[in-house]
Amino acid sequence: MPLIKEAHKKFKDYLKTAKHRITPERFEVLEAALNQDGHFGADDLYVSMKSNKSNISRATVYNTLELLEQCGIVARRNFGDNISRFEASINRKNHDHLICTNCGEIKEFTSPRIQKIVDEISLELGFDPTGYSFNIFGRCTDKNCKHKHE
Amino acid sequence: MPLIKEAHKKFKDYLKTAKHRITPERFEVLEAALNQDGHFGADDLYVSMKSNKSNISRATVYNTLELLEQCGIVARRNFGDNISRFEASINRKNHDHLICTNCGEIKEFTSPRIQKIVDEISLELGFDPTGYSFNIFGRCTDKNCKHKHE
DNA sequence: TTCAGTGCAAAAACTTTGCAGGAGG
DNA sequence: CCTCCTGCAAAGTTTTTGCACTGAA
């Protein structure tokens, strides 16, 4: 099943289950979110949709991203600059991030040991984990690491 | 050496080295920051200082927290609510956080394995790490976990 | 003396909210 | 038909910036 169709179905099911209404605007946001590549801010998405002649409003974008987060189609990320970033997470492996504090480049990595630590610590401290975020900050050693400002 | 004295010295040395001026306001912010307990936001600190009759300005608080961060006296934390939190880090062991998404409670934990993962991943991907953040989100199992909103 | 640092207020950046009209169930 | 959702704009929050003055070196 193509990704977009699957996401569509998942979102629709979620909306029904959670007694949210099914509106064209919500699916418009869903598709725009899946079209973004990599990480994007809520406002980025709004601007991008607006420049594609959409009639959407800011409030709807923010509201819908929250719904998409709740049903696991997008994930909210926080890279230390006080902006909520999102990324499509449907059908993607869990992964974490390396953030270059010089050029803004974000690399991804996976390590199964991290989930293991999450579970162990949570058990130990009496905590029911729903998620985690793990970001490494530093400088990438790419020779073209300059002021690339995403 | 008492903590406050040591921090004082460290900050002074840093300011000299980095060619920043040594001003009473900066030390006022330093002391106020060390007096906060646990995690605090930049604006919290400003308000707290103001209510203690300080004549400080917002700009100075923000500016000084950045300097304190650069020299390792405070650490910036991000718990997913788009507010920069700080905490005194001088003479404290590295630690990470469990955040209860229901009551806002923040617990701390340490795990030496995390630093090991950071180093390995960085080496593997060609990255020079300067720090990391590791937050686990979930619900604490305390029976009094309600809407405690810090 | 000189210029980085300060206080103040205004602007900026991101997000949330209030309201009236409109459409989904 | 009853709400929930939408668009719009305004307000809210947190942080940054511009400017003229001050004080550290």
Confidence of residue A149 (pLDDT cuts 50, 70, 90): very low
- pLDDT digits over B33-42, tens only? 999 989 999 9
> Is A14 among the domain residues?
yes
* Domain range enclosing A131: 96-138
d(CA B44, CA A96): 30
The Cα of B14 is separated from the nearest Cα of chain A by a number of Å equal to 21
Q: What CATH number corresponds to the domain at position B40?
A: 1.10.10.10
d(CA B49, CA A16): 49
Q: Are residues B7 and B81 in the same domain?
A: yes
Q: Are residues B9 and B82 in the same domain?
A: yes
Mean pLDDT throughout A82-88?
Answer: 94
* pLDDT at residue A76 is higher than 50: yes
Q: Are residues A78 and A100 in the same domain?
A: no
* pLDDT at residue B149 is higher than 50: no
Q: Are residues A77 and A127 in the same domain?
A: no
Backbone torsions φ then ψ of B17, nearest 5 degrees: -55, -45
B-chain residues within 8 Å CB-CB of A135?
A: 132-134
* pLDDT at residue B148 is higher than 60: no
B-chain residues within 8 Å CB-CB of A117?
A: 111, 113-114
* pLDDT at residue A86 is higher than 50: yes
- Count how many domains chain A has: 2
Q: Are residues B100 and B134 in the same domain?
A: yes
> Is B18 among the domain residues?
yes
Q: Are residues A83 and A20 in the same domain?
A: yes
Q: Are residues B106 and B73 in the same domain?
A: no
Q: Are residues A30 and A80 in the same domain?
A: yes
> Is A143 among the domain residues?
no
Confidence of residue B1 (pLDDT cuts 50, 70, 90): low
Q: Are residues A102 and A37 in the same domain?
A: no
> Is B146 among the domain residues?
no
Average of per-residue pLDDT values in chain A: 91
Going across the sheet that includes B74-78, the strands are: B40-41, B84-88, B74-78
Mean pLDDT throughout A109-125?
Answer: 93
> Is B37 among the domain residues?
yes
> Is A146 among the domain residues?
no
Confidence of residue A3 (pLDDT cuts 50, 70, 90): confident
Instruction: Fill in the amino acid letter for A150.
Output: E
> Is A103 among the domain residues?
yes
For the entire predicted model, the pTM comes to: 0.87
Q: Are residues A63 and A116 in the same domain?
A: no
Task: Give the pair of three-digit tokens for residue A40.
Answer: 């994007």
Q: Are residues B42 and B14 in the same domain?
A: yes
Angle between helices B42-51 and B58-70 (to 10 degrees): 130
Measure CB to CB from residue A138 to each of B122, B138, B142 and give the nearest one.
Answer: B122
Could you tell me if B97 and B108 are in contact, meaning their C-beta atoms sit under 8 angstroms apart?
yes
Question: Given this model, what pLDDT does residue A150 score?
Answer: 38
Residue that is last in its domain, among A88, A107, A130: A88
Which nucleotide, over all strands, has the C1' atom closest to the CA of B23?
A: D24
For residue B73, the cross-strand partners are none
* pLDDT at residue B85 is higher than 90: yes
d(CA B88, CA A120): 27
Select the residue from A136, A137, A145 to test the B interface by mutation, using most B Cβ atoms within 10 A: A136
Measure CB to CB from residue A109 to each of B78, B125, B130 and give the nearest one.
Answer: B125
Q: Are residues A84 and A124 in the same domain?
A: no
Mean pLDDT throughout B86-99?
Answer: 91
Q: What CATH number corresponds to the domain at position B123?
A: 3.30.1490.190
Torsion sign across C-alpha atoms A63, A76, B96, B61 = negative
> Is B150 among the domain residues?
no
- pLDDT digits over A42-69, tens only? 999 999 999 999 999 999 999 999 999 9
* pLDDT at residue A90 is higher than 50: yes
Question: Given this model, what pLDDT does residue A9 score?
Answer: 97
